[in-house]
Amino acid sequence: MQTSEFIDLENQFGAHNYKPLDVVLSHGKGVWVWDVEGKKYLDCLSAYSAVNQGHCHPKILEAMIEQAKKLTLTSRAFRNDQLGLFYKDLCELTRSHKVLPMNSGAEAVETAIKVVRKWGYKVKGVPQDKAEIIVCENNFHGRTITIVGFSTDENSRAGFGPFTPGFKIIPFGDANALEAAITPNTVGFLVEPIQGEAGVIIPPPGYLKEVRSICDRHNVVLILDEIQTGLGRTGKLLAEEHDGIEADLTLVGKALSGGFYPISAVLSNTEVMAVLQPGEHGSTFGGNPLACAVARTALKVLIEEGMIENAREIGAYFLEGLKQVKNPLIKEVRGKGLLIAVELYPEAGGARSYCEQLKEKGLLCKETHDNIIRFAPPLVITKDVVDWALERIGSVLGRE
Ligand SMILES: *Cc1c(COP(=O)(O)O)cnc(C)c1O
């Protein structure tokens, strides 16, 4: 079948809730993917940072196959011999006390919301149904009704109400706004260390440290959504490490499986998670042995193969290279590790056409909002490949 036939099938039978680039991929290896016509591309999106370990990592693949032959799903009605080992690995790696496994990122966010509300009522003493959670403008935490209800992106919200009450929205990067928004009923502050979907928005230096101390002062649970920034993407295992802080609840997903399987988790540092009793929360697939075996290996290769250090070093090199691309239409180049964005002025006519041109040159990038191009290749990318990419990016974006 031809590219156009695959696209026609999708258009005919699928819901039109995405606007993908017109490339139909059939296989991948490391940082590279190939389309059905055999053309090779550098993946500069990594499935929104789910494929940090590179496509089809052989060790994760092997773990998946071996576990799939043995046992895939028990539900949590019974125990399995992978779950405890997964908990232990994840806790040791992230210095957490407790783990609650789910599947998608949005489910991890929903789980954290439930946990902090319950904690608010049982421990903090907030009156029934009065719990408030503070979130930030331009956040992205997923697509459920509750989560889009506190989005500030009209596209995500319009037509989906009525929404879940109990959320307060403040500007991102403004610690004073957080302190001002806290009331005796505030139970949690949910924030991304760097706003990925908003276009790689990096808060001012010291922001997270201040947020940490404000949350401590007011007995508010700090929930960091590291679903995109975590697991090596920014050059640290967790982005919070750049600021030397620890969240009370940390959400991870995406790269937790290296792209093989939907796996997410809520990590807890405090007694907050202890408020959950049997029967109060769960998921049929959450913590299944296949997921656990895959995740354990995905974490292992991230560490053993030096991917986090590579993200730091190659990320800095890539960022520097992008800053050398000269074009008066480029407003800003920013990033941390391998989470990088090039923001264009509106006069550039939108990032989409540049992504289309980059695709023709063999780079797959996706615009985020209208004017931002994100560069987030798998963390196994080498300097040579970055040079290859910069040459092509320069030819599309550069104007002397
Ligand atoms: C992708 C993402 C989510 C949602 O994850 P899904 O697996 O798509 O539900 C939540 N938060 C952040 C920061 C993300 O990047």
State the closest ligand 1 atom to the C-alpha of 49, by its place in the atom list counted from 1: 15
Which of these is catalytic: 89, 118, 140, 359?
Answer: 140
Q: What pLDDT band is residue 355 in, cutting at 50, 70 and 90?
A: very high
The reply to whether 70 and 165 lie within a common domain is yes
Which of these is catalytic: 236, 254, 336, 366?
Answer: 254
- Mean pLDDT across the stretch 176-200? 98
Assign 344 to helix, strand or coil: strand
AA letter at 115: V
Residue 4 CA, ligand 1 centroid: distance in Å: 30
pLDDT digits (tens, 9 = 90+) for 314-349: 999 999 999 999 999 999 999 999 999 999 999 999
Which of these is catalytic: 35, 43, 225, 243?
Answer: 225
Cα gap 194→239, rounded to integer Å: 8
The reply to whether 107 and 46 lie within a common domain is no
The reply to whether 86 and 100 lie within a common domain is yes
Q: What percent of the chain has pLDDT over 90?
A: 98
State the closest ligand 1 atom to the C-alpha of 143, by its place in the atom list counted from 1: 9
Residue 106 CA, ligand 1 centroid: distance in Å: 6
Domain boundary among 252, 273, 304: 304
Q: Catalytic: 81?
A: no
Q: What pLDDT band is residue 399 in, cutting at 50, 70 and 90?
A: confident
Lookup: tokens for 339? 């989470």
Task: Name the phi and psi angles at 50, rounded to 5.
Answer: -85, -20
Q: What pLDDT band is residue 281 in, cutting at 50, 70 and 90?
A: very high
Residue 383 CA, ligand 1 centroid: distance in Å: 29
The reply to whether 374 and 232 lie within a common domain is no
Q: What is the pLDDT of residue 7?
A: 97
Q: What pLDDT band is residue 269 in, cutting at 50, 70 and 90?
A: confident
Residue 145 CA, ligand 1 centroid: distance in Å: 14
Q: Catalytic: 383?
A: no
CA distances (Å), origin 272, targets 19, 27, 177, 266, 327: 39, 42, 25, 11, 49
The domain that holds 376 is classified in CATH as 3.90.1150.10
The best mutation among 228, 260, 285 to test binding of ligand 1, ranked by most ligand atoms within 8 Å of the C-beta, falls on 228
Domain boundary among 304, 326, 361: 304
Does position 91 have pLDDT exceeding 80, yes or no?
yes
Chain-centre distance for alpha carbon 60 = 20
Give CB contacts under 8 A, 24+ apart, made by 82-90.
82/289, 82/292, 82/293, 82/296, 83/287, 83/289, 83/292, 85/292, 85/296, 86/287, 86/291, 86/292, 86/293, 86/295, 86/296, 89/296, 89/299, 89/300, 90/265, 90/267, 90/295, 90/299
Pairing mode, strands 25-29 and 32-35: antiparallel
Q: Is 141 in the pocket of ligand 1 (CB under 6 A)?
A: yes
Q: What is the pLDDT of residue 270?
A: 76
Q: Is 228 in the pocket of ligand 1 (CB under 6 A)?
A: yes
Query: In angstroms, how far is the first alpha carbon of the chain from the final one?
Result: 42
The reply to whether 9 and 111 lie within a common domain is no
The reply to whether 192 and 282 lie within a common domain is yes
- Mean pLDDT across the stretch 21-30? 97
Chain-centre distance for alpha carbon 271 = 25
Does position 14 have pLDDT exceeding 80, yes or no?
yes
- Considering its fold, how many domains does the chain have in total? 2
Does position 13 have pLDDT exceeding 80, yes or no?
yes
Q: Whose CA is nearest to atom 6 of ligand 1?
A: 105
Q: What is the pLDDT of residue 271?
A: 85
The best mutation among 46, 202, 227, 263 to test binding of ligand 1, ranked by most ligand atoms within 8 Å of the C-beta, falls on 227
Q: Catalytic: 140?
A: yes
Q: What is the pLDDT of residue 400?
A: 61
The reply to whether 209 and 103 lie within a common domain is yes
Q: Is 227 in the pocket of ligand 1 (CB under 6 A)?
A: yes
386, 317 contact by CB (below 8 A): yes
Domain span including residue 154? 58-304
Average pLDDT along the chain: 97
Q: Is the pTM of this model over 0.95?
A: yes
Peptide bond into 193 cis (omega under 30): no
